[in-house]
């Protein structure tokens, strides 16, 4: 039982890494740095995002959309891989359960044969004991006859 719990905890730990990593390193456009830029000596410092400094170029936005689509395709591919892995694990579990049922049936058959042989052994043992008793009784009667003859 403890072994199963340990294996389950390890599996959850390994799977949780990809869940918590979603959006951290893979999509750097969501995170921007904050910089102070002096506008003039009379005005105070203005805080702007580095993303606001980028020129509004359509090729950059198209690249971002393309990378977003590629990352979505990669995620859907990974989901497909996980689904395939789950399906394979399910089919393996079904195969193991079928194998377990076969072994249980064989065990039941062997157990039935064992009980039958055990019963036959007991009956034969009783027959042997009764025959040995009869032989001893005959030996005693022979000894008694010999004693009376002398």
pLDDT in tens, 92-124: 999 999 999 999 999 999 999 999 999 999 999
Does residue 90 sit within a domain? no
* Mean pLDDT confidence for 43-52: 47
Query: What confidence score (pLDDT) does residue 9 get?
Result: 81
Q: How many domains does the chain have?
A: 1
Inside any domain, residue 74: no
Separation in Å, CA 148 to CA 116, 136, 141, 142, 143: 48, 18, 11, 10, 9
Asked if residue 69 belongs to a domain, the reply is no
* Strand extents, DSSP E, the chain: 34-37, 46-49
Counting residues of the chain whose pLDDT is more than 70, the rounded percentage is 58
In whole angstroms, what is the distance from residue 90 CA to residue 84 CA?
Answer: 10
Phi and psi for 35 in degrees, rounded to 5?
A: -130, 155
Q: Is residue 125 included in any domain, yes or no?
A: no
Mean pLDDT of 51-58: 50
Residue 14 lies in a domain: yes
Residue 126 has pLDDT above 50, yes or no: yes
pTM: 0.38
Where is pLDDT greater, at 50 or 112?
112
Residue 119 maps to a domain:
no
Does any domain span residue 127?
no
Has residue 9 been placed in a domain?
A: yes
Domain limits at 7?
Answer: 1-54
Amino acid 51: pLDDT: 47
């Amino acid at each position: 039982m403890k072994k199963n719990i340990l294996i389950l905890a390890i599996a959850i730990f390994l799977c949780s890494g990809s869940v918590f990593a979603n959006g951290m390193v893979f999509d750097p456009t969501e995170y921007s740095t904050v910089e102070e830029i002096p506008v003039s000596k009379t005005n105070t410092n203005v805080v702007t995002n580095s993303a606001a400094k980028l020129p509004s170029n359509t090729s950059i936005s198209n690249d971002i959309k393309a990378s977003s689509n590629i990352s979505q395709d990669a995620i859907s591919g990974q989901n497909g891989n996980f689904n395939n892995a789950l399906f394979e694990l399910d089919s393996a579990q079904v195969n193991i359960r079928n194998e377990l049922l076969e072994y249980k049936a064989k065990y039941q058959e062997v157990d039935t044969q064992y009980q039958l042989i055990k019963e036959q052994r007991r009956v034969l043992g009783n027959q042997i004991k009764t025959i040995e008793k009869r032989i001893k009784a005959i030996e005693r009667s022979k000894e008694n006859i010999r004693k009376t003859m002398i």
